[in-house]
Structure 1
Amino acid sequence: MNKYIKIVLAFLSFGALCATTEASIGGYISASDKKKFLSTLVKSFTIELDDISKSYYAAKGYKILNEVVPKAYITEQCAHIKQHYKATANVEVLFNALNTWSLLGCDGKLHTDDTIASINSLLQNEKSTTADIRYATEILTQLKLQIPNPAKVAQLIQAKLKEDDSLASIGQALHAASLLGNAGKFAHDRIEDVIVQADEIDGKLLQWEGGLTVTSLLITGLLRLPGATPFTQVQADKFANYLLTRKTVQTPKGILSLLEAAVALAGSSVSPVSISIIGSSQVPQDKPELRIQVSDVFGQPLKPVPSPVIAQSATRISDDVVVLAKQPLISGKTSTEFVLTLDKLDPGYYRVAINAGSHSATITARILGLLTINSLEIGLTDADGSSAPKLSKLSYPTKLDSALKADSSQHLLVKFSISRPVHQAFLRLSSGKKEIVFLAVPDSNKGYKVEVNVASQLAYTGNFDMELILGDSIITNPIRWTLGVIDVNLGPSDSPAPRSLRGPKPEIKHLFRPAEKRPPEPVSLFFSGLTAAPLLVLLILWAKLGINFGNFTGVAIPFHLGFGSILGLFTLFWLKLDMFKTCALLIPLGMITFLAGHRLLSSIAARQKKTEKADK
């Protein structure tokens, strides 16, 4: 009774804790992800004509990943940027070039007085876009220069947002407003409206329309606003989950967008917490330690480290029984690693709920164990059950001293018991290249049994090697045990010579049904005359009544030609055409005749109405 009370209390405490905890993210940007990012980012260092903009993605990406740019790239890029730098270039190009110059530590000063004048003019030009204003303020801030008249710049941004309030435009405005001091506080009024426009996917992800670039632009812009706390912990986790789904991005610009958004979230007050398994989720029973990592989105230690880190519960998936509750995890080799000891659990699949401070995650672990064979009996029984079976006991891995002699009146019986149930339990009989596999089924005594009807389930006479195969996804020692040999004698009539599976196949002969006897020629001609009789009657009536050509008009010509063509087609079908060719020709002829007939009837009806009016 105490056992059930503990289980109920564990469920209640887990439910109460779930009401006060936040879900965590299930992954992070790992070392292998960073290596893949670097292999793509380095492509941006390739020199292409006078392009001095794209190398910014690589320089900034290397900076975020704390990697050192090779000196050869630094020398090459600095020389290239200096050669092609123009103060009158597009403001985004200037922003990228100046940032690359700074990130690579190039010698000397790149910007000129003309650069500053060009930037200041953009901040006063009513034709400037929000992107122009954002990059201009970024450049001045980077060069440690004062932004002229921040209040006026703020007014210009708000005017531009009235013209273009797209998400991309708002994102650029947020970045610019974050650099204007008190004048940029107007951007706080936009926070709620922007977040409401985020799209939720499956209740787990949040993103904005426009994909990774726009989502990153808005995340970084919102988190840059001084004094703003735009996201709740749940929203931050969902945005982080979205970013983790985009780790497959393969463009330098996309990678930089991903990294910038991840850095912004990791450095915020609602930094997402990653609770994930280190290495494999398979736990061997001889060393039952499940290693858990609690970190930020980059796999780095959290400040402060969430505490306490406990396994709130562990549930066996096969029967939903809670087998562990509120077990603390011990610290591992690093500040992000924690170890959960599962030495008291039987092999199987378990759903483990981990809590790290106010964050929680559910992970699936598989505990592996050894399989032992407790007993095995093998022998032959009479098919009619007239006598008791003669079974021999074997211990693993021994086999029968002599072959079993079986005939068509007997059954082969194998009974065994093992330390735990398995998903795969087979008896394999093989002879040369042929094999027959029988499924072992659980019996009433919690063991397994295989019974083979020698007469009906074995194909031919011969010697068969017997092998017991046991396997499961939760055992570390799958077993293949050779039990011995069975000599099957089914008699000469039941042992057909084996047929070769190779070589030419026997010829397939097919006899078509002979043609049916046709009727005599006079009979055929008689019925042909009957089918032509209506046409003959029509000609006779025309001869007696006469044909009225007075009402014939040019409108009737297409109809009569079409109708005549259909009659001619039927004649050809009768003589030599098949059904498919006839239908293919009949469809266009029928459509033309239908349209021509409709027009003819319309003209006749119009002429009749005209005649009736004239008579009145």
Structure 2
Amino acid sequence: MDQSLIITLKNDISKLFDSIEKYDDGALYFDDKLVDGHEHQGPLSTTSSVVRGLTAFAAVTAGSVNLPGDKILGLAKFFLGIGVPGDAKDFFNQIDSLACLESNRVSIPLILSLPSTELSLTKKDSLKVRVNTVLGSNAPPLTVKLVGAFSSGSKDASLVESQYEMQELKFDAETGVHILSSLPKSIDVGSYTFVFEIVLHESEHEKVYVTGNQTKVPIFVTGLIKIENAEITVLDGDLGSIETQKNFIHGLISYIYRLDLAGQNVVSLSANHLQKLRISFQLTTPRGRAFKPHQALLKLRHESKIEHIFVVGNSGKQFEILLNFLGLVEKFFYLSGRYDIELAVGDAVMENSLLRAIGHIELDLPEPPEKAPRPPPQPVDPYSRYGPKAEITHIFRAPEKHPPKELSLAFLGLTILPLLGFLVGVLRLGVNLKNFPSKAIPATFAILFHVGIGAVLLLYVLFWLKLDLFQTLKLLGFLGVFLVLVGHRILSHLAAASAKVKSA
């Protein structure tokens, strides 16, 4: 094989890697491209093609391919950081590329990872680090060092390097984990970026494996925050500064309420518009330092559901808020009455964030002037709007006067008399069945006709006892149609029979 062509190809590979793209986390990839003028390949497919071609070329070439180890490590981070692709072809490209990086003649990347990036000072969690190949194989003998720790958003010197230089993690052969049993004293609750460095024990492995210069990992350190010296009191309006209030508070205030924010105690206060409400407390980290949470809010909720929220300021460990009701009467819409007091202190690294009702205060505010602002309309509760309504109780008019019971029964008897007279007449005259049809079909229609007549009489009885007029008319309509049909058939038969008798 012509060596000049191989050298040219190696130079082309180096130029190709000069155009590689980079993410903020150090992952490297090749941008998508157009294949054959119509097929579009995404970054995953394009990068996978480059990795397969690179490792295949390195496997059949006698010399080495000079590529920076950081770029091979960046490609490994790209394939590991994209998760599980939703497309089967992309998933194959991902696994195949990782398999190529797992065993190749260029550089085998070693990946540093943490089982957990959240550590608790209260639970005294240990810092644990794993170092494996891209597919999880064991790494060669090496040492992991913690060389720096920066507070998130801070550009100051490393909290670790300035005091402890490099801290070496202890390797546990059974679990394959590098462990730092206790965090440095300079690390308190908060968000940090830890900087690790991997050092291979044998120099021969440096030609096979690539570890990168340094690896940065975001770490969250949590803990229980001590809430101490919590107080709430009502001050007279003629007090001056906070220092003056502290000096003369015992002469002007009957009692200072000590709050146990970790418990369930509540206080009951009262004040007018010439007084002030003061709430103070201290927050301390497990290391004894001042702690400033993301949120420290005081909420006052009026009995009409109108809420007012105030930010609690701090100076070091001390958090304090002073509400001057004289300057807040317009904000409170001159609404006197009961205000529930609620304190919220929370942070992502605070294991005991709280939202606590600490009591209520009865405010006596002056009457609103004519042009005072009105309270905003409160949102309508969906349950009260769309929920079940109150039961409607109908009020019926008084029933009209009815005749005496005896008179009603007398008229009932008069109504039944014609029917009784009809039955008596039928019995006295006798029943004539001479003209009743003898054939099966006419006899059937004759029976149905008489049954229909009986059904009509029964319907009248039901109308008297139970049914209303509309129900009776509906049933009577069906019975009427039925009687017309069967009556027409039986009368036609009788007319035909009578005509035969006369003609004979």
TM bin (shorter chain):
0.5 to 0.7
- Counterpart amino acid of 2:108? S
In structure 1, the partner of 2:462 is none
1:331 is aligned to 171
Name the SS for the 1:197 alignment partner: helix
Q: Is it true that 1:490 corresponds to 2:325 in the alignment?
A: no
Matches of residues 222-301 of structure 1 in structure 2 within 5 Å? 222-230=57-65, 231-244=67-80, 246-269=82-105, 270-301=107-138
1:432-451 mapped onto 2 (5 Å cutoff): 432=303, 433-443=305-315, 446-451=317-322
Q: 1:402 to 1:364 in 2, by over 3 A?
A: closer
CA 1:403–1:299: 2 relative to 1, 3 Å = same
Taking only aligned residues, the RMSD between alpha carbons, in angstroms, comes to 3.3
Rounded to whole Å, the distance in 2 between the matches of 1:245 and 1:395 is: 48
| Structure 2 partner of 1:407 | 272
Judge conservation of contact 1:220–1:260 (CA < 8 Å) in 2.
Answer: no
User: What does residue 194 of structure 2 align with?
Assistant: 352
| Pairing of 1:161-180 with structure 2 (within 5 A) | none
Change (3 A) 1:369 1:407: same
Matches of 1:247 and 1:378 in 2, distance apart? 52
- Listed one character per residue, the Cα deviations across residues 371-399 of structure 1 (whole Å, up to 9, x for unaligned) are 11120221122333278443614141467
Q: How do 1:367-386 and structure 2 match up within 5 A?
A: 367-385=221-239
Equivalent residue number for residue 475 of structure 1: 350
Pair 208,373 (structure 1): closer, same or farther in 2 beyond 3 Å: closer
Structure 1 residues 260 and 318: alpha-carbon distance in aligned structure 2, compared to 1, 3 A threshold:
closer
**2:293–2:347 CA contact under 8 A, matched in 1:** yes
Match of 1:219 in 2: 54
Compared with structure 1, are the counterparts of its residues 501 and 286 closer, same or farther at alpha carbon in structure 2 (3 Å cutoff)?
A: closer
CA–CA separation in structure 1 for the residues paired with 2:74 and 2:378: 62
CA 1:500–1:247 in 2, change beyond 3 Å: closer, same or farther? closer
What SS does the aligned partner of 1:323 have? coil
What is residue 302 of structure 2 aligned with on the other side?
431
- Report the counterpart of residue 458 of structure 1 in structure 2: 332
- Higher Cα Rg, which structure: 2
Structure 1's 489 and 450: CA in aligned 2 closer, same or farther, altered over 3 A? same
Structure 1 residues 458 and 212, CA gap change in structure 2 (3 angstroms): same
One-letter code of the match for 1:193? D
Alpha carbons 1:396, 1:481 under 8 Å: kept: no
Helix, strand or coil at the partner of 2:166? strand
- Asked if the contact 2:259–2:265 (Cα under 8 Å) also holds between the matched residues in 1, the reply is no
The normalised TM-score by structure 2 is 0.56
Aligned partners of 2:2 and 2:376: how far apart in 1? 93
Match of 1:28 in 2: none
Which amino acid is 1:372 matched to? Answer: K
Match of 1:314 in 2: 149
> Over residues 24-57 of structure 1, what are the superposed CA-to-partner deviations in whole Å (9 max), with x where a residue is unaligned?
xxxxxxxxxxxxxxxxxxxxxxxxxxxxxxxxxx
Q: Contact (CA 8 Å) 2:117, 2:218: kept in 1 or not?
A: no
- Unpaired stretches in structure 1, ≥5 consecutive residues: 1-181, 504-616
Q: 1:355: how far off?
A: 1.2
Instruction: Give aligned-pair identity as a percent.
Output: 18
Hey, which bits of structure 1, 4+ residues long, moved more than 6 A?
Answer: 182-185, 494-498
CA distance in 1, matches of 2:32, 2:217: 31
CA contact (8 A) 1:409 1:454 kept: yes
